[in-house]
Structure 1
Amino acid sequence: MHLFSAMFLLVMLAGMPGEVQNISQSMEVLDLRTFRDLQYVKNTEGLMKVVDGKLKVASENPRSLNPKGFQEVKDKVNQLLPLLPVLEQYKADAKMILRLREEVRNLSLVLMAIQEEMGAYDYEELRQRVLLLETRLHSCMQKLGCGKLTGVSNPITVRASGSRFGSWMTDTMIPSSDNRVWSMDGYFKGRRVLEYRTMSDFMKGQNFVQHLLPHPWAGTGHVVYNGSLYYNKYQSNIIIKYHFRSRSVLVQRSLSGAGYNNTFPYSWGGSSDIDLMADENGLWAVYTTINNAGNIVISRLEPQSLEILQTWDTGFPKRSAGESFMICGTLYVTNSHLAGAKIYFAYYTNTSSYEYTDIPFHNQYSHISMMDYNPRERVLYTWNNGHQVLYNVTLFQVIKTSGD
């Protein structure tokens, strides 16, 4: 059975389009990552030709290669080294495609069998079978699992727009087939949110609608999670949940004791006291309080009510942090927002422990005012001195077997 025929049958059986989003999501992730990496390979093609030309000249006439020329060739080769992890990612993606192909093939066989037997079951029995298939597919996707951050790619500049400070994002909820992109320029008193239909539209600055928030925002620590924008209300420690489709505030709640209005910001300031983010484990707030002596506090939030589910004190001073982001329940903190920054500190909520790290990344435009991880795409979104930039991340992952 053709893949799309299988998808259509699954929708008909379940009566809900959301039952088939997992597999389309995996294809979406592969498509986005492959597109970005292909662009990077193309961008290095010219450099590869230069190196190849210099090596040919040197091989034909070794005496022409003086110490200065040798150093130039060596520098060019060093510039090509970041291409290696990109090619490694291609190899990993190829293995993922093979796994998904086998899973789709197995599901298609089961779906054909169900299709032949449809007359023998009532609706509820068929629905239970569909739910079982969905569980199997979800299990397949979960084999990719979470992991520990081990590397960050070179930056990919998507667009240059807006002022020096701001934020941009896509929906972080898993699963989601939503391709919209949101942009929020500035770090205080802003109310204007631009919603683009696709990433391509955002890159071109076209096909967008405007949302005018009922309350202005503070900082750049906003996040879109399952169709709603979560942000810090200006001059307060109140978190607001704004629903895009209904254009209304669904809930707002004070983050008890949290500093605001540049009391405990990141090193770059900008009213960045409260940073909201999401990862594979849910919705988080990163902030600090007077009781915590200005050290970073992590709270996991209930997305519907915004109630705090659990809190951790990391012991890391927030004013010494450039930015931070969550991946798989771990908070990663950079040591600066300026050039030369690196990921310096990691706090593991699953063990309530921490370690100092040394993960470099290229701060291309020398002033990062927003850095957030998107678990749906497994990339870092950053706003860097008026540029919207993406980073691929490398996670150390253990692929689970069926016996785990």
Structure 2
Amino acid sequence: MLALNAEMKEMVEMMSSVATAAQKSVRSQLAMNDKVQEDVLLILASLAKANVTKIERKTDFCPQELVSIRSDNIEIPVGIAQGSFAVDPIPGGQIWVTYGYSDINEIFQYKSLELLKYDVEKGTHKLPFFCEGTGHVVYKNSLYCHKGMSNKIVKYNLLQKKWEKEVALDNAGVHNKYPYQSGKFSDIDFAVDEKGLWVIYATTYSNGNIVIVKLNDDTLEILETWVTNIPKTKVGNAFMICGVMYATDSYENIPTFIKYSFNTNNGGSKVLKDNKIIFPNTIDDKFAKNYMLDYNPIQKKLYAWNHGRVEVYSVSSKSYYPFQVGANRVKRRNSRKKRKRN
């Protein structure tokens, strides 16, 4: 397994270097023909595929249960009170930022947190639509966001600069009908974890309680839906880890805590005690107004947009195997019965 991981790492690094070199070569050409464009996209697609294998291998470590959240003591002033921040886990490392919470039609790319601090951007994408809220994510080189003044979610390919998919979420509350505590049009919130792409929202049919949906990241097809028993307006924010949603108690209390979890793997939910999983909700005890909270499954980090600051937190989890252990016990009992009959 170690040899396989080392070989995969070497392959990914090699392909990344080739892709980077190809992109640089392409940029130096004022006239780039269709064949070159196709070759570059094929290289990048292969790189993404290699990293897909990498993240799928990580799902072997699921299920995981969140144990603690701790500050990394990293904060980046960004000057705008509300916004969204994403580090694309596949192919990995790209930093993407949107500013504001309404009429968003630009997304900015940065090479590092340090360059974000000094606002030295790598590139800007003008979007052919407006996003709303702060719940956007970037996954596999695509932006997923809530389309402004609608109940639709949108996929935009950042490599090809192409608006690819648009799907309506039936009966979804929008435009501050069922937001998080902070408001700011946070009705529809995307999330990424080891299992892929999710969207968290609430509907009239759920009476405003949180609805969790597993999405096909390619087609935006709704694969499965779960309805929880906690009102969306009563939580500070939410994120997913290994198919489990965790909701914070407050977006502004210092500290706050995880007050509710819902496990899509078995349909179970928990109301947690105040001191079980503390979330600092700020760096260095500064005031808190946390408008965005997202998990990165490769880095095992939580990223927060906290009233003009991007903040970084680390999570600790532990494995549990309720299904595997039970299945093994059943098999052993059956084998004993067969031996007795023989």
Q: TM-score, normalised by structure 1?
A: 0.63
Q: State the Cα distance separating 1:248 from its structure 2 match.
A: 1.3
For the 8 Å contact 2:239–2:294, the answer to whether it is kept is: yes
Change (3 A) 1:249 1:339: same
CA RMSD of aligned residues (A): 3.0
Q: Residue 171 of structure 2: SS of its match in structure 1? A: coil
Higher helix share: 1
**1:158 correspondence with 2:75:** yes
Choose the corresponding residue for 1:293, options 201, 207, 211: 207
**1:378 correspondence with 2:300:** yes
Choose the corresponding residue for 1:337, options 251, 259, 264: 251
Q: State the Cα distance separating 1:142 from its structure 2 match.
A: 5.7
The residue that corresponds to 1:351 in the other structure is 266
Equivalent-residue separation in structure 2 for 1:161 and 1:218 (angstroms): 19
The residue that corresponds to 1:17 in the other structure is 15
Q: Which has the larger radius of gyration?
A: 1
User: Which runs of structure 2 are paired with 1:169-184 in the superposition (5 Å)?
Assistant: 169-173=86-90, 176=91, 178-184=92-98
Q: Residue 116 of structure 2: SS of its match in structure 1? A: helix
| Aligned partner letter, 1:396 | K
Change (3 A) 1:398 1:244: same
**1:282 correspondence with 2:201:** no
User: Which runs of structure 2 are paired with 1:44-83 in the superposition (5 Å)?
Assistant: none
Q: State the Cα distance separating 1:316 from its structure 2 match.
A: 0.5
For the 8 Å contact 2:65–2:320, the answer to whether it is kept is: no
Q: State the Cα distance separating 1:202 from its structure 2 match.
A: 2.3
* Percent identity of paired positions between Structure 1 and Structure 2: 33
Q: Residue 233 of structure 2: SS of its match in structure 1? A: helix
**5+ long unaligned stretches in structure 1:** 19-133
Q: Residue 222 of structure 1: SS of its match in structure 2? A: strand
Q: State the Cα distance separating 1:144 from its structure 2 match.
A: 4.5
Equivalent-residue separation in structure 1 for 2:173 and 2:258 (angstroms): 24
| Aligned partner letter, 1:150 | V
User: Which runs of structure 2 are paired with 1:4-403 in the superposition (5 Å)?
Assistant: 11=11, 17=15, 144-173=61-90, 176=91, 178-340=92-254, 341-357=256-272, 358-364=276-282, 365-397=287-319
Q: C-alpha deviations, 1:157-216, integer Å up to 9, x for none? A: 33101311111111133xx3x322111111111112111123442233224211111111
**5+ long unaligned stretches in structure 2:** 17-50, 329-342
Higher strand share: 2
Equivalent-residue separation in structure 2 for 1:9 and 1:379 (angstroms): 21
Change (3 A) 1:151 1:207: same
Change (3 A) 1:166 1:8: closer
Equivalent-residue separation in structure 2 for 1:276 and 1:366 (angstroms): 22
Change (3 A) 1:142 1:273: closer
For the 8 Å contact 1:144–1:398, the answer to whether it is kept is: no
Change (3 A) 1:179 1:295: same
Q: State the Cα distance separating 1:262 from its structure 2 match.
A: 0.7
Q: C-alpha deviations, 1:41-81, integer Å up to 9, x for none? A: xxxxxxxxxxxxxxxxxxxxxxxxxxxxxxxxxxxxxxxxx
Q: C-alpha deviations, 1:301-337, integer Å up to 9, x for none? A: 1111111111001111011011000000000001110
Q: State the Cα distance separating 1:9 from its structure 2 match.
A: 12
| Aligned partner letter, 2:260 | F
Residues paired across the two proteins, number = 278
